[in-house]
Amino acid sequence: MLLEIAHLTVRYEKAVLINDLSLRVDTGELVSLVGPNGAGKSTTLRAVSGLVAWEREIKRRSTAGDIFLEGTVTFNGDRIDQIPAHEIVRRGLVLCPERRRPFREMMVLENLMAGAYLQKDKKKNRETLDKVYQMFPVLKERSRQISGTLSGGEQQMLAIGRALMSEPKLLCIDEPSTGLAPLMRKEVFEKIVEVKNLGITILLVEQEVSTVFKLASRNYVLSSGKLIAEGLGDDLLKDEILRKTYLGL
């Protein structure tokens, strides 16, 4: 088992965002986390990657409201729920955030190299960059282009490429198809499969349920911060209430 979340609860003041969530991701899997808007999917990824703990500390210092976090997150055999976000990245768990979020005023190459900020071996960084360019030739073509001028699909590829520069063991990808045209969504999902085929484990949050269920080894369904179902895509789709109420199908 590469990642284990056990009894995770996240609450902001009186609002419960995640309620006693437990799930696992095994090495080599592509696991999906799906559910309606506001289900807590993105919060789960932020908690796993250490961002909720960081936000909690900022809130505590500013008295702008409290974030309550409990439960355990274990990665590669070690607990990571009490360590800083940058150390989690160093250990190989990397978040590719929702809405891509490139450094818009920086060039594509600068964005990619920002993903390797913890790797000090320049030769290793060049090798990893070559691999990213092989997977995403458009990023090499546009390496000197300002990132904010890229299309939405190109920015998503840049976000994945930047995450790959950290050489992740587990890549958490948040809503990669948001705002993309159908053809570009198809290409992005194909690239995600390529990433998996490199041996990188993936935890994928996505609204495009019908596509994700065909790609994922296993699936978890969240609603209002609670886990309501898990299993193979075909089995979940047989449940008419689940399909219509929580999956929008």
Distance of CA 45 to the CA centre of its chain: 6
| % of the chain surpassing 70 pLDDT | 94
Instruction: Kindly report the CATH number assigned to the domain that includes residue 228.
Output: 3.40.50.300
Q: What does pTM read for this prediction?
A: 0.93
Domain count, the chain: 1
| 8 A C-beta contact, residue 142 and residue 154 | yes
- CA dihedral (91, 147, 113, 167) in degrees, to 10, reads 30
Rounded to whole angstroms, the Cα distance separating 140 from 145 reads 10
- Write down the pLDDT at residue 13: 79
Q: pLDDT digits over 78-102, tens only?
A: 999 989 999 999 999 999 988 767 8
Phi, psi of 39, deg, nearest 5: -75, -20
Whether the predicted pLDDT of 8 surpasses 90: yes
**Domain interval for residue 80:** 3-245
For residues 12-30, give the mean pLDDT. Answer: 93
